[in-house]
Amino acid sequence: MRPGLVGVGVVLAVLGGGALSTVYLAPAPRPVNGEGTTIPSTIVRPGSTGSAPVDGPNGSGGDLRVHWSSSVGMEVYLYPSAGCIATAYTCGSETAMVHWSNSTHGDWAASGTYTYPILLVWVDLGPAAGTFGANAYATGSSGGSSLTVSELLADAAALTLMVIGGLAVFLGIFLRGGVFRGNREPKGPTGRDDRGPPPLG
């Protein structure tokens, strides 16, 4: 047995296993896409309705933040689909994600899976005209469950270390200790060379 070779093999195997577990137990964060929507301040007449789509990345999930403000109290709705037609208080059969009643400003943030674009609707119930403006920002994960190129390279390097480490442990256990010196001349029971003196002449 060669303890030094076994020790080196164990170290390499541990390093390889640690690197491999890091890839799967603590994967690199997936890229995140973000998209913003700005609704410039616009004049809203009494009794009129306005609407605008809120864009965002369609992915496996993300965050949505909405902020709006107006100079007069308004009814403001956020609907999960931009396909509906907003005329006043309702948007077809869609149920509002959030509703602000007779307000001059609003903030909303939530996490989930959304299908963009969604619809922001504002209604001026009067009696005076007012201005309305809003901005929104949506994020979504763009990565899937597949490994990236860097992760695949890390896997290959970790597996190589584990194979080399395992081979070193195997050789260290089953190889005889000491340095190979080739064939040694036989000696007698006393440890002396029994071949006798060289022949004369």
Total Cβ atoms within 10 A of residue 186: 8
* pLDDT score recorded for residue 179: 47
* pLDDT score recorded for residue 31: 57
* pLDDT score recorded for residue 156: 76
Mean per-residue pLDDT pooled into runs of 10, the chain (201 residues): 65 66 55 83 92 84 93 92 59 80 95 88 91 93 56 72 71 61 54 59 55
* Residue type at position 190: T
Angstrom distance (rounded) from CA 44 to CA 70: 9
Question: In the chain, what is the greatest distance between 2 CA atoms, to the nearest angstrom?
Answer: 137
Angstrom distance (rounded) from CA 182 to CA 176: 13
Closest to 121 measured CA to CA, from 72, 190, 186, 50: 50
* pLDDT score recorded for residue 191: 54
Backbone φ and ψ of 62, nearest 5°: 180, -165
102-129 burial: b if 16+ Cβ within 10 Å, else e: eeeebeeeeeeebebbbbbbbbbeeeee
* pLDDT score recorded for residue 197: 62
